[in-house]
């Protein structure tokens, strides 16, 4: 396995967000990636910097032209030392814009696509793309939940453009509404998500068990919403159910949307998992799903924990 990151991720550096109506320090900060990089180096995972930036043509394969123009123009209009809370194209207050947000988001998406190309070419069997800003909440025409472009979906799209089947396994605390919706009517991409019950957790409007896809995509979406009192043993049993669904699909490639906000002490998540549980879960997934894999970083906001082995 190799880990790749973009130095451009630090360009996106908002100071605050609105959480429950209050201005609070921005949780999705640059130190998240720095902490993960330190952890990778400590366990001898090779780390490689990348300056790849996704093309507009590739962005347009999943995101709308008007949305892309809006995002770029709004960022261009923000002063270097300011930030903007948009009032359109967004349904939350967790996606502020700075002068460099558009640029950083294109580099994050480019990182995911580069990782997909590395496994498609056989250069690597597993690539960990330390994408920031994250992406799985980004819709075709909307930013939300710290996400501007859908990195995992764009990686999957690059792989399907080569005629391959892709399974996306999402284990972030929050449901990946954007990823689900982008492939909801397609059968070449399987979406399986394990997440907190959307009745009480962001994004609230998606991630319920009865959401299964539509038309050609019917049966290619599977959601496993969990309560806050889920035990690690129950979580691992759910992982086993999810990996069985992936294996039945028989994909050519796996995209793993990896969130560490299921950690017991995450400031905006928490499903009771600790460091030992992540080691066990990683081994469980690797043993069950022996496919060339792109791991895409999503959430996880306890910065100190992110760098632990």
The encoded tokens of residue 61 equal: 């394969």
DSSP structural state of residue 93: S
The encoded tokens of residue 224 equal: 């496993």
Whole-angstrom Cα Rg for the chain: 18
Q: Please work out, in degrees rounded to the nearest 5, the angle formed at the alpha carbon of residue 190 by the alpha carbons of 256 and 213.
A: 130
Return the H-helix or E-strand segment holding 70: helix 65-76
Cα atoms in the Cβ-side hemisphere of radius 13 Å centred on 50: 27
The encoded tokens of residue 3 equal: 């880990």
Q: What residues contact 254, with CB distance under 8 A and at least 6 apart?
A: 166, 167, 168, 169, 246, 289, 291, 292, 293, 294
The CA distance from 210 to 306, in Å, is 33
The CA distance from 186 to 43, in Å, is 38
Write out the catalytic residue numbers. 137
236 burial level (CB within 10 Å; 0-12, 13-18, 19+): middle
The CA distance from 120 to 140, in Å, is 25
Under 8 Å between Cβ of 98 and 75: yes
Q: Is the peptide bond before 80 cis (omega within 30 degrees of 0)?
A: no
- Please say whether the dihedral angle defined by the alpha carbons of residues 52, 166, 277 and 259, taken in this order, is positive or negative: positive
């Amino acid at each position: 396995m190799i880990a790749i990151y973009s130095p451009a991720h630090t360009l996106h550096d908002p100071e605050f967000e609105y959480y429950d109506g209050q201005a609070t320090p921005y949780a999705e900060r640059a130190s998240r990636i720095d902490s993960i990089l330190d952890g990778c180096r400590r366990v001898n995972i090779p780390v490689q910097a990348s300056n790849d930036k996704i093309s507009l043509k590739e962005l347009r394969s999943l995101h709308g032209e008007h949305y892309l123009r809006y995002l770029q123009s709004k960022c261009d209009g923000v002063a270097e030392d300011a930030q903007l809370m948009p009032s359109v194209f967004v349904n939350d207050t967790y996606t502020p814009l700075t002068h460099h947000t558009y640029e950083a988001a294109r580099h994050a998406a480019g990182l995911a696509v580069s990782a997909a190309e590395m496994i498609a070419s056989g250069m690597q069997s597993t690539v960990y793309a330390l994408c920031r800003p994250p992406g799985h909440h980004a819709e075709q025409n909307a930013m939300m939940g710290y996400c501007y472009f859908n990195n995992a979906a764009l990686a999957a799209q690059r792989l399907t453009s080569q005629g391959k089947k892709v399974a996306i396994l999402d284990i972030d605390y929050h449901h990946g509404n954007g990823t689900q919706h982008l492939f909801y009517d397609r059968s070449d991409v399987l979406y399986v998500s394990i997440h907190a019950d959307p009745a009480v957790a962001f994004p609230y409007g998606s991630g319920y068990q009865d959401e299964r896809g539509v038309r050609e995509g019917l049966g290619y979406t599977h959601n496993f919403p969990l309560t806050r009192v889920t035990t690690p043993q129950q979580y691992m049993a759910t992982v086993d159910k999810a990996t069985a669904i992936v294996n039945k699909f028989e994909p050519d490639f796996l995209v793993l949307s990896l969130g560490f906000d299921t950690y017991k002490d995450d400031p905006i998540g928490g499903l009771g998992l600790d460091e030992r549980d992540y080691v066990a879960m990683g081994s469980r997934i690797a043993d069950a799903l022996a496919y060339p894999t792109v791991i895409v970083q999503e959430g996880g906001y306890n910065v100190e924990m992110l760098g632990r082995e």
